[in-house]
């Protein structure tokens, strides 16, 4: 047996001597800090709505919306359990509001999106304006705006919450405040924001009401789906995405939220997509139809069949491929705006 190389003993003694001073050698960790390609700890996952929904309804019996503040089942990445994260930068959860309930008003620095999954007629209020929720609607809660939710119907309503909680936590920039009343006072008629900014026009003299976030906080599904159908009929179908559009801020043409990008896409009947990968991890919500996603990393492969209201996550730099025999519509969100703002976004479209 060979004796340890003398340099190894010298190094180990050096490490022991530097440790009390909170020093560590870069050369021992450089390969992990600056990898040859992205190496996320996240794993693909799929949440079947038929399995999740009974647990959501049980949560409705176990705790009130007022007690919980927000009655949500968090979609935790299987490799990030306990961190309330679906990717390293994003949070996702399914929120339930029962008939005649109000989720009390509060505000926080974290930006949030709501994507309506089940039920019609509940509302969310943002800084004095309410919007009625319908399946497929994309709704924004801008950073540091008062917001509450209510359900005046006779049926439960469920939506997907997407927030930048892990990202804000990384920057140690989280603040929150509870309102003095359960529901905020409505000061503007429903549809005011859409009327002012949602028709390729804007008031002549105005300031963006939510800073870098879109002045429209409700994007109705009816309009989004009509656009996708028209493009499917009249424009080329992309071999990787089908027909895919991103939501925009009408004042800038950029992303509707500074930290979260949102997308809607339609896979035509008989679509078999080409594989792709990107550095922004993405969360998908199945609006309608059925299909399959195949996700691969190295020698591992995951294959998920999905249907209406199912959810799945494609982690960073995992190769993904979508297909649908009958056709389907998918909503998704990711942290792409931050990647692009930092100049670190990468995407490969494979064949």
Report if residue 16 sits inside a domain.
no
Report if residue 48 sits inside a domain.
yes
- Quickly list DSSP for 184-217: PPP-B-TTHHHHHHSSS---SS---TTTTS-S--
What's 326's domain CATH number?
Answer: 2.60.120.10
Q: How far is CA 349 from the centre of its chain?
A: 22
Report if residue 6 sits inside a domain.
no
Report if residue 325 sits inside a domain.
yes
- The full 3-state SS of 80-144, as one line of letters, equals CCCCCCCCCCCEEEEEEECCCCEEEEEEECCCEEEEEEECCCCEEEECCEEEECCCCCEEEECCC
1 pLDDT exceeds 70? no
DSSP 299: T
Report if residue 118 sits inside a domain.
yes
Q: Could you tell me the pLDDT band of residue 205, with boundaries at 50, 70 and 90?
A: confident
pLDDT digits (tens, 9 = 90+) for 122-163: 999 999 999 999 999 999 999 999 999 999 999 999 999 999
Report if residue 27 sits inside a domain.
no
The tally of domains found in the chain comes to: 1
Average the pLDDT over 175-198 and give the result: 93
Mean pLDDT of the chain: 96
pLDDT digits (tens, 9 = 90+) for 13-57: 999 999 999 999 999 999 999 999 999 999 999 999 999 999 999
**Whether the predicted model's global pTM rises above the 0.85 cut:** yes
Report if residue 178 sits inside a domain.
yes
**Is the Cβ–Cβ distance between 217 and 126 less than 8 Å?**
yes
Domain that residue 338 falls in: 40-349
In degrees, rounded to 5, the angle at the alpha carbon of residue 159 between the alpha carbons of residues 217 and 327 is 95
Report if residue 28 sits inside a domain.
no
């Amino acid at each position: 047996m060979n004796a340890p190389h003398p340099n190894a003993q010298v190094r180990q003694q050096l490490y022991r001597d530097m440790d009390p001073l909170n020093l560590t050698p870069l050369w021992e960790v450089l390969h992990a800090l600056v990898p040859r390609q992205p190496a996320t700890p996240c794993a693909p996952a799929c949440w079947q709505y038929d399995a999740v929904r009974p647990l959501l309804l049980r949560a409705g019996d176990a705790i009130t919306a007022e007690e919980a503040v927000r009655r949500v089942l968090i979609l935790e990445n299987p490799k990030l359990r306990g961190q309330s994260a679906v990717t390293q930068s994003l949070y996702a959860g399914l929120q339930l509001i029962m008939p005649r309930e109000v989720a009390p008003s509060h505000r926080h620095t974290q930006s949030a999106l709501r994507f309506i999954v089940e039920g019609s007629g509940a509302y969310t209020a943002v800084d004095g304006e309410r919007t009625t929720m319908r399946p497929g609607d994309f709704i924004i809660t801008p950073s540091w705006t008062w917001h509450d939710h209510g359900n005046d119907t006779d049926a439960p309503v469920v939506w997907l919450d997407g927030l930048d909680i892990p990202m804000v936590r990384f920057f140690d920039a989280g603040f929150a405040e509870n309102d003095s009343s359960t529901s905020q006072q409505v000061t503007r008629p429903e549809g005011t924001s859409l009327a002012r900014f949602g028709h390729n026009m804007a008031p002549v003299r105005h300031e963006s009401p939510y800073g870098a976030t879109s002045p429209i906080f409700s994007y109705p599904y009816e309009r989004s789906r009509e656009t996708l159908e028209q493009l499917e009929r009249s424009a080329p179908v992309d071999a990787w995405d089908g027909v895919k559009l991103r939501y925009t801020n009408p004042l800038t043409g950029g992303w509707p939220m500074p930290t979260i990008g949102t997308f809607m896409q339609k896979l035509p009947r008989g679509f078999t997509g080409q594989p792709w990968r990107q550095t922004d991890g993405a969360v998908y919500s199945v609006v309608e139809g059925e299909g399959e996603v195949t996700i691969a990393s190295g020698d591992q492969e995951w294959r998920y069949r999905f249907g209406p209201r199912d959810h799945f996550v494609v982690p960073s730099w995992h190769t993904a491929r979508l297909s649908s025999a009958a056709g389907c519509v998918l909503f998704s969100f990711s942290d792409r705006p931050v990647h692009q703002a930092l100049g670190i976004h990468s995407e490969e479209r494979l064949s």
